[in-house]
Chain A
Amino acid sequence: MKGYRKYFLNKMAWFVVTFIAAFMLNFILPRLMPGDPVSAIVARLAQGMSNATGVQKIYEQYTELFGTNKPLLVQFFIYVKNVAQGNFGFSFSQYPRTVADVLGSAIWWTVGLQLPAIIVGWILGNVLGALAAYVKGGYDKVLMPVSLFFSSIPAFGMAVILLVIFGVQLKWLPTSGGYGFDMIPSYTWPYLASVIVHYQLPFWSIVLIIIGGQAIGMRSMCIYELNSDYVKYSRFLGIKDRKIVGYVFRNAMLPQVTGLALAIGTIVGGALVAEIVFSYPGLGTTLLNGVMGQDYPLISGATMVITLMVLISTLTIEILYGFIDPRIKATQSEQ
């Protein structure tokens, strides 16, 4: 365990640095707009809102919250303080709900949908890819172009296709929402059943997309490993095929884990758009509502939360990787 300390500290440090960078980008990018961004935002918002007191309230609250008349540096510290307290202000489009409230209900839908979907898709994809590399022949010849085609379909495209086939044509599964429109969230059986039924289409569309990409990567990796010297040597020694496959799988797996850590941002981004197709009540749909409603605080809050989610999952994968790959331990104990 001791050997890992440096590795983990290094990863943690990167996490903190990246988070700070993301945080600053989240703050600065919208402020790069020409003119006074916040008043522009509020002016834009005021056009769409008929509730005069609401506009006034938001304007005051927003100027106070972000200190628009103060210098940029002061604004930044106000922003830091607010975010640290989980205070993202009021949502423009869903006033009087606060952004924290809107995001708080959306985030669990997204986590509950994407986390299992990514894990299942990743495992299935790797198993299929390894099989393709090992079995070769017809299975490989069929599976490869199919996976390549599947991974070429964007996540939202897969979502639409599944929705049309199973939701609209066959009418097996509901087409939108996270639960029946006639239900109130509660821990009752009918509600849970409804949630599970609504879960299927978004879940499988994300899984299918991930399978394609992972299978291709894993296949290349396995072919690479199967041609390597240690495999040939093991074959000469007469080691059983099953055992060799075990080695190969493990060695090919490692780059796949790193690959997942690097690709998770892209995967999450694609899956968020897939959520929109199903109007799933997660962060993707929240983001869409934010854009449609010119709701700047909501967009800013949502992107912050998404970034944080991606950073945390990357960190988790990297820490797990440290345990899986013996080389990490070896390099650490050398020093």
Chain B
Amino acid sequence: MKHTLNQVFHSPKFVVGFSILMVVLLTVFIYPLIVTDKPLKIIAQGSFFPPGVYVNVFDSTNSPATYILNLENAAARRIASKLSNDDRLAMKEWLVADGVSESEIDITNTEKLLALWVKNYDPKKDIKGMTNARRNYFVRLDKSLEGLLATEGAIIAAQNPKTGTLEKIGSIEQSDYVNINQVANVRLLLLGTDNFGRDVTTELVSATGTSLMIGLVAGLIATTIGLVLGLMAGYMGGWVDDVIMFFTNIFTVIPTFVLLILISYSIGQEKRGPFTIAVVIGFTSWVWTARAVRAQVTSLRNRDHVNLSKISGHSIAGIIFTDVLPYIASYVIMALILQISSAILAEAGLSILGLGPRTTETPTLGLMMNWAMIYQAQILGKWWAYFPVLLTIALVSFSMNLMNTGLDQVYNPALRE
């Protein structure tokens, strides 16, 4: 046993796969200890907030200390964030249409451009061939440019509850900074928020956990059924073998996917929890294990050591546990790993079809994918809503496939390079 483990952990493929899986598992266990929010808690008002650090504006203006930093590019950056290159080109376009000569306009010189703009722009002027949307865009642009080059700060005022008038309570200079550590509320949304305004990171970690659980439950069920049926068919032979193989052959050809759809639909939305889905997947995917185990057992049945045990009068259970199972253990473990990864994929497929677990309690990887698809995250370019999910699915199943290939090479010397 020790020797085998030693061998297994010397297979580079197995080790890489195992490490990836462990990283995923550790994240699933440790992350909830740090971020204790419920995975499906809606925290954002609005959908698809991009990933980033969210700093509370109110708290930063009320920060206990403000620091003055005189940084060189601060003004330029401030302007650039308000006046993009597209905006500059649009301004040039308007000015040219207005009759300003093109050589006079230098869009890289903000000061000159703004001066020209302020001098010439007239929201009421009708430019030929311009759509209303475009006209509105220029009105908005003009408005956003107000005070762009100003060097004064802003005044913070609060409403006096008695008189209702605004009273100055502080001012912010352009060179004022706060230390982010001193701001009371800062939230890191590593992967932004999803269509419902939930934190994708928290959701993803929880979903990965649930999906792995679904995979494990389904895999264990499928492997147990497959193992028992395979052992019976292979060891007993005769009519038991015929009957079991009859059903195995039938279920090999009938697509599992179709069975999953029919059963999940029949169960109904209300009764479909993650566990139920796992059980359904487990009960529909035992066929491969049964076939493989049977093939192995059939060839083992007539080996000398098994015959010897039979002659010695050992019980069937005894023979199976001591003389048969140890020989197929590696095979069964490999089958289990494959079952787990394919169950995770099966859940994802079902969920995309809208037949996944019901949506109120726990997310799964498939459900997250389903939500992202329904709200067209992929068309809208909200990559954080679907890409991390896909990557997780791929990584989990990649790690398991790698482990499997590694094991295969250890136990099947013919495949070694």
| Residue ranges of A at the interface with B (Cβ–Cβ < 8 Å) | 14, 17-18, 21-22, 25-26, 29-30, 32-33, 37, 136, 148-149, 151-154, 156-157, 160-161, 163-164, 168, 175, 216, 220, 223-224, 227, 262, 265-266, 268-270, 272-273, 276-277, 287-288, 291-292, 296, 299-300, 303, 306-307, 310-311, 314
Majority SS of interface residues in chain B?
Answer: helix
Q: B246 → chain A, closest Cβ, in Å? A: 8
Say yes or no: is B253 at the interface (Cβ < 8 Å to chain A). Answer: yes
Say yes or no: is B393 at the interface (Cβ < 8 Å to chain A). Answer: yes
Q: List the B side residues contacting A268 at CB < 8 Å.
A: 255, 257
Q: List the B side residues contacting A265 at CB < 8 Å.
A: 253-258
CB within 8 Å for A292 and B349 given contacts A148-B398, A223-B415: no
Q: List the A side residues contacting B353 at CB < 8 Å.
A: 273, 276, 287-288, 291
Q: List the B side residues contacting A227 at CB < 8 Å.
A: 414
A314-B345 in contact (CB<8A): no
B349-A310 in contact (CB<8A): no
Name B254's closest neighbour in chain A (CB-CB): A22
Distance of A147 Cα from B31 Cα, bound (Å): 31
CB within 8 Å for A149 and B394 given contacts A29-B262, A32-B266: yes
Say yes or no: is B110 at the interface (Cβ < 8 Å to chain A). Answer: no
A154-B253 in contact (CB<8A): no
CB within 8 Å for A291 and B253 given contacts A148-B398, A156-B369, A168-B379: no
Within 8 A of A (CB), among B249-301: 249-250, 252-259, 261-263, 265-268
B262-A303 in contact (CB<8A): yes
Distance of A136 Cα from B268 Cα, bound (Å): 51
Q: List the A side residues contacting B345 at CB < 8 Å.
A: 154, 270
Name B265's closest neighbour in chain A (CB-CB): A299
Which residue of A26, A168, A223, A292 contacts B262 across the interface (Cβ within 8 Å)? Answer: A26
Q: List the B side residues contacting A168 at CB < 8 Å.
A: 378-379, 381
Within 8 A of A (CB), among B359-378: 369, 373, 378
Which residue of A151, A311, A314 contacts B401 across the interface (Cβ within 8 Å)? Answer: A151
Name A261's closest neighbour in chain B (CB-CB): B253
Contacts A30-B265, A269-B255, A287-B353 known; 14 new A-B pairs at CB < 8 A:
A22-B250, A22-B254, A30-B266, A32-B266, A154-B393, A156-B348, A156-B352, A163-B378, A168-B381, A175-B379, A266-B255, A296-B265, A299-B262, A303-B262
A29-B266 in contact (CB<8A): yes
Distance of A266 Cα from B339 Cα, bound (Å): 13
Q: What are 28 sample pairs from A and B whose C-beta atoms fall under 8 A apart?
A: A30-B265, A33-B266, A33-B267, A148-B398, A148-B405, A152-B395, A154-B345, A157-B390, A160-B373, A164-B378, A164-B383, A223-B417, A224-B415, A227-B414, A262-B252, A265-B253, A265-B254, A265-B255, A265-B258, A266-B256, A269-B258, A276-B373, A277-B373, A277-B378, A299-B265, A310-B254, A310-B258, A311-B254
Within 8 A of A (CB), among B373-417: 373, 378-379, 381, 383, 386, 390, 393-395, 397-398, 401-402, 405, 408, 414-415, 417
Q: List the B side residues contacting A148 at CB < 8 Å.
A: 398, 401-402, 405
B253-A314 in contact (CB<8A): yes
Q: List the B side residues contacting A25 at CB < 8 Å.
A: 254, 259, 262
Distance of A117 Cα from B83 Cα, bound (Å): 48
Say yes or no: is B354 at the interface (Cβ < 8 Å to chain A). Answer: yes
Distance of A306 Cα from B369 Cα, bound (Å): 24
Say yes or no: is B214 at the interface (Cβ < 8 Å to chain A). Answer: no
Distance of A308 Cα from B265 Cα, bound (Å): 20
Say yes or no: is B324 at the interface (Cβ < 8 Å to chain A). Answer: no
Distance of A124 Cα from B252 Cα, bound (Å): 25
Which residue of A18, A160, A216, A303 contacts B261 across the interface (Cβ within 8 Å)? Answer: A303
Distance of A314 Cα from B259 Cα, bound (Å): 17
Distance of A150 Cα from B286 Cα, bound (Å): 25
A269-B266 in contact (CB<8A): no
Distance of A148 Cα from B414 Cα, bound (Å): 19
CB within 8 Å for A292 and B354 given contacts A154-B348, A164-B378, A269-B256: yes
Distance of A307 Cα from B401 Cα, bound (Å): 28
Q: B375 → chain A, closest Cβ, in Å? A: 13
